[in-house]
A = this chain, B = another copy of it.
């Protein structure tokens, strides 16, 4: 109907038109749901609601926030939205946020300390009611500072310290990979470990190394190379591994994109997958299955992770206490890691 006619419909405008006081209108409109209406006569309530929707009234977020200092805004900080994994997590967050009547505000930190700080304070200036960090760093005190300001937050994808988090069980995922590689007879594995300050990278790596250690096989430190979780990072890390000339018989990339980068490197070194080298990724992104040699990987519930993170945050914002969650991963075996 006559929706966006008037650029700004205020509470006073509809109150005046109805000949009643703005405060009454406010109470009626806000009491929606819970208590029907002890604030106005049933007939008045109807007239208010009707006119509000007819005029397309929406409360001025700024005025409301100024008065109440409450906000239904949630800030989300991720390393990088370009990363499919975090983009998917964010979609889960956004989806759940909408269901909870919250709005989200994302930004990239690129895992850089200055960005994290600047973006976080920008969000606090925007009076977010809570924060979700997807870029937690191990051994870093930044989050302690945030916690000290008692603004609710949860971590997603990566964890650190004792902060509430929703993550995949990356250690288990790593173990699944390790067991799989042993089962197909690979003993000389190299790990493209990802960023050293990310719990995901550390745990996935540890999962593999622990399994191998339990089988009496050590993985030397020079077989574990760190680098970004993307194609370029995977290629560089694989190059570093292959440069030595002592080729591994398996490469575990802690991320599918890094695995694809490694694929490029293997190809350039004349090594084929899985004959010479078994290749395993992580996350089961949609590309994994489409490769010429489909990629073995670990499926992680990225979307759900985002949803749960928002839900936990909403609970915390509502004053409830919650506990961290670790979601189970699943090994998906494909052609890139057949028996040698």
Contact = CB atoms under 8 A, between A and B. Distances in A.
A239 B123 CA distance: 46
Nearest to A56: B121
A150 to B, nearest CB: 9
A290 B149 contact: no
Nearest to A293: B292
Contact of A81 (B4, B87, B126, B291): B87
Interface in A103-118: 103-108
Q: In the complex this chain forms, how many copies of it are found?
A: 2
Interface residues on A, range: 35 or more
Interface string A58-84: 101111011000000000000011101
B61 A126 contact: yes
A156 interface: no
B287 A231 contact: yes
A170 interface: no
Interface in A256-295: 257, 260-261, 263-264, 267, 286-287, 289-294
Contacts of A121: 58
Interface stretch (A22-30, A88-96, A174-182): A88-96
21 contacts: A4-B148, A60-B66, A60-B127, A62-B62, A62-B66, A81-B90, A81-B91, A82-B87, A91-B108, A94-B108, A104-B107, A106-B106, A230-B286, A231-B287, A232-B286, A235-B290, A260-B291, A263-B292, A264-B294, A287-B287, A292-B292
Given A62-B62, A257-B286, A261-B286, 19 more contacts: A60-B66, A61-B62, A61-B127, A62-B63, A62-B127, A63-B66, A81-B90, A82-B87, A94-B107, A103-B122, A104-B107, A231-B290, A232-B286, A235-B290, A260-B291, A261-B290, A264-B289, A287-B287, A291-B292
